[in-house]
Amino acid sequence: MAYLGEPQHTIAVLQKYNFHFQKKFGQNFLIDTHVLERIISEAGVTKDDFVVEIGPGIGTMTQYLCESAGSVAAVEIDKNLIPILQDTLSEYDNVEVINDDILKVDIAALAQEKNGGRPIKVVANLPYYITTPIIMGLFESHVPIESITVMVQKEVADRMQCGPGSKDYGALSLAVQFYAKPEIVANVPPNCFMPRPNVGSAVIRLTRHKNPPVCVADEKLMFRLIRASFNQRRKTLVNGLKNASDLSFTKEQIETAIEAIGQPLTIRGEALTLEQFAQLANEFSNMGHS
Ligand code: SAM
């Protein structure tokens, strides 16, 4: 039975193993059963699912996942947690604990091996110091994903969900929204964790698009335009693209492309929607750029 969501059980396990939290691994363990139940229900986990959990910690959410999923693979970097997980997960036979760095694990191969290549669900209370590389890695490395339901820093959840006009709008918003539909499904205060983080948290669900929401001939070029625009977000789009070291357009070409998508030459990149970045990339592709 899942029991680690109760703070006294977590404390007992930490004491039994004399476990010391490692700040460098972003270790903030969940100690709130309502939040845990909410994450599992928002992730829509069923017995048909193979779930990858990133950073199981002492196995708090893993216990819930084992009870609701068909099978679970939990990837944990901290070797000190492995004997603890063997203990706290001993009554479940549908979980494999992998002692590795999630950024080095071939999740596509794991999905192939464990789920016959069918789309998987990712559920996690993420280590906040590597939220962006984890999420972008999952999307960009062609892992078959159905959804990603994760606890992240509140500010990062806002960045993933917002559009033009918000101060949080940036390259992460556009990248996430190109691949998935983001929905913040819960806000979680620091007292739901041990130790307490010094930032607010939120659970966000990213449901993978079945078809891309925009038509773009060269995705890589579009993302280079996006990065260049937001690297210098106080500059106009013309200057942002002209100054970018990995783009080699002339000022005239940039102005022609911006006019072709019906935008003024004074516009800043931060004002463009995903659709408009796709159109801009297509204009450059049509000029023969890649
Ligand atoms: N899931 C547990 C919970 O909710 O109580 C722990 C979540 S804690 C925020 C993040 C976990 O990710 C820690 O157990 C930490 O050791 C682990 N972790 C940190 N960096 C990692 C990495 N690169 N690969 C795999 N796990 C990592």
Residue of 128, 148, 129 whose CA lies nearest to 140: 148
The CATH number of the domain where 227 resides is what?
A: 1.10.8.100
Q: Which residue has the tokens 């072709």?
A: 260
pLDDT digits (tens, 9 = 90+) for 119-142: 999 999 999 999 999 999 999 888
How many other C-beta atoms can be found within 10 angstroms of the C-beta atom of residue 85? 20
Residue 253 included in any domain = yes
- Whether 152 and 161 have beta carbons less than 8 Å apart is answered as no
Task: Say whether both 122 and 261 belong to one domain.
Answer: no
- Domain boundary at 189, 208, 227, which? 208
Residue 2 included in any domain = no
Ligand 1 atom having least distance to the Cα of 25: 19
Ligand 1, atom 18: closest residue by C-alpha: 55
Return d(Cα 122, Cα 20) in angstroms, integer.
27
Ligand 1, atom 6: closest residue by C-alpha: 57
User: Angle, nearest 10°, between helix axes 33-43 and 60-68?
Assistant: 40
Return d(Cα 158, Cα 145) in angstroms, integer.
22
Ligand 1 atom having least distance to the Cα of 4: 5
Pocket test for ligand 1, best of 17, 33, 54, 104 (most atoms within 8 A of CB): 54
Task: Say whether both 136 and 163 belong to one domain.
Answer: yes
Residue of 74, 39, 68 whose CA lies nearest to 55: 74
Task: Say whether both 62 and 112 belong to one domain.
Answer: yes
Q: Does 103 sit in the ligand 1 pocket, CB within 6 Å? A: yes
Residue 214 included in any domain = no
User: What is the 25 CA–ligand 1 centroid distance (Å)?
Assistant: 6
Burial (CB count <10 Å: 0-12, 13-18, 19+), residue 234? exposed
Confidence of residue 86 (pLDDT cuts 50, 70, 90): very high
Task: Calculate mean pLDDT across residues 274-284.
Answer: 97
Q: Does 60 sit in the ligand 1 pocket, CB within 6 Å? A: yes
Task: Say whether both 77 and 191 belong to one domain.
Answer: yes
pLDDT digits (tens, 9 = 90+) for 229-256: 999 888 999 999 999 999 999 999 999 9
Task: Say whether both 240 and 272 belong to one domain.
Answer: yes
Ligand 1, atom 11: closest residue by C-alpha: 55
Q: Does 125 sit in the ligand 1 pocket, CB within 6 Å? A: yes
Residue 129 included in any domain = yes
Task: Say whether both 54 and 103 belong to one domain.
Answer: yes
Threshold 0.75, pTM exceeds: yes
User: Angle, nearest 10°, between helix axes 171-179 and 219-231?
Assistant: 160
Say whether pLDDT at 290 is over 80.
Answer: no
Residue 181 included in any domain = yes
- Domain count across the chain: 2
Q: Would you give the distance in Å from CA 174 to the centre of its chain? A: 13
Residue 213 included in any domain = no
Give residue 242's pLDDT.
Answer: 95
Q: Mind giving me the DSSP string for 29-44?
A: EE--HHHHHHHHHHHT
Say whether pLDDT at 289 is over 90.
Answer: no
Task: Say whether both 183 and 121 belong to one domain.
Answer: yes
Ligand 1 atom having least distance to the Cα of 29: 5
Give residue 141's pLDDT.
Answer: 87
Task: Say whether both 254 and 114 belong to one domain.
Answer: no
C-alpha separations of 272 from 52, 82, 255 in Å: 34, 46, 15
Task: Say whether both 107 and 182 belong to one domain.
Answer: yes
User: What is the 27 CA–ligand 1 centroid distance (Å)?
Assistant: 6
Confidence of residue 145 (pLDDT cuts 50, 70, 90): very high
Residue of 6, 40, 60, 38 whose CA lies nearest to 121: 40
- Domain boundary at 167, 186, 208, which? 208
Residue 1 included in any domain = no
- Whether 55 and 108 have beta carbons less than 8 Å apart is answered as no
Task: Say whether both 63 and 197 belong to one domain.
Answer: yes
Domain around 229? 219-286
User: What is the 127 CA–ligand 1 centroid distance (Å)?
Assistant: 5
Q: Does 29 sit in the ligand 1 pocket, CB within 6 Å? A: yes
Task: Say whether both 196 and 223 belong to one domain.
Answer: no
Helical residues (DSSP H) of the chain, grouped into ranges: 7-16, 33-43, 60-68, 82-88, 107-115, 131-140, 154-161, 171-179, 219-231, 237-243, 251-260, 274-286
Q: What 8-state DSSP symbol labels residue 62?
A: H
Residue 92 included in any domain = yes
- Domain boundary at 166, 187, 208, which? 208
Task: Calculate mean pLDDT across residues 181-188.
Answer: 98
Q: What 8-state DSSP symbol labels residue 197?
A: P
Give residue 63's pLDDT.
Answer: 98
Task: Give percent above pLDDT 70 in the chain.
Answer: 100
Give residue 81's pLDDT.
Answer: 98
Task: Say whether both 191 and 251 belong to one domain.
Answer: no
The CATH number of the domain where 11 resides is what?
A: 3.40.50.150
Return d(Cα 64, Cα 33) in angstroms, integer.
10
